Amino acid sequence: MEDKLGAVGAAGIGPCAGLPAGRMDSIREVLDRVGDKWSLLVISVLENGPRRYGDLHYAVTGISQRMLTLTLRQLTQDGLVSRTSYPEVPPRVEYALTPLGQGLYEIVSALIEWTIAHHDEIQRNRSRDAESAATAREFSTAGIPDVAALSRPEFDTRS
């Protein structure tokens, strides 16, 4: 799509308008990584200061050890989280937000606050939508004979 200046971009409108396709791919990759639910939860927990792996696993309810390890590795690779290993027995490793991660936390906290503020409204909309879908299913099958009922012996016309 061509913008006002004649530059070709991957997105025609919005904040990414005018960006070349290669740039869009890298933006999408970063958003995919930091936008998943586990990354957001780990970032929000680390906002309170450095945490050990076990503390993070306890604080991020529902995350498996494998997923926590993968999430921490990805956040560390992106420079959002730092990993500090202390030469002690037993070994101690702490994870903390970097300045880049703290900047992302400001955005994450705004998203969490918005979610909390609108949770009830979203739940009501989901319930209403589920009821509408159920009504639509009932309406669409009205007048259609029950195939299972027709397969009973009293409906067998082969004799």
How confident is residue 7, by pLDDT bands cut at 50, 70 and 90? very low
The model's pTM: 0.66
Residue by residue, what is the 3-state secondary structure of the chain? CECCCCCECCECCCCCECCCHHHHHHHHHHHHHHCCHHHHHHHHHHCCCCEEHHHHHHHCCCCCHHHHHHHHHHHHHCCCEEEEEECCCCCEEEEEECHHHHHHHHHHHHHHHHHHHHHHHHHHHHHHHHHHHHHHHHHHCCCCCCHHHHCCHHHCCCC
**Highest mean predicted confidence (pLDDT) among 3-12, 63-72, 117-126:** 63-72
Higher model confidence: residue 30 or residue 53?
Answer: 53
How confident is residue 11, by pLDDT bands cut at 50, 70 and 90? low
pLDDT in tens, 68-105: 999 999 999 999 999 999 998 888 999 999 999 999 99
* Mean pLDDT of the 127-152 span: 66
The overall average pLDDT reported for the chain is 81
pLDDT of the residue at 64: 96
Q: Is the pLDDT of residue 1 over 90?
A: no
How confident is residue 126, by pLDDT bands cut at 50, 70 and 90? confident
* Mean pLDDT of the 40-66 span: 94
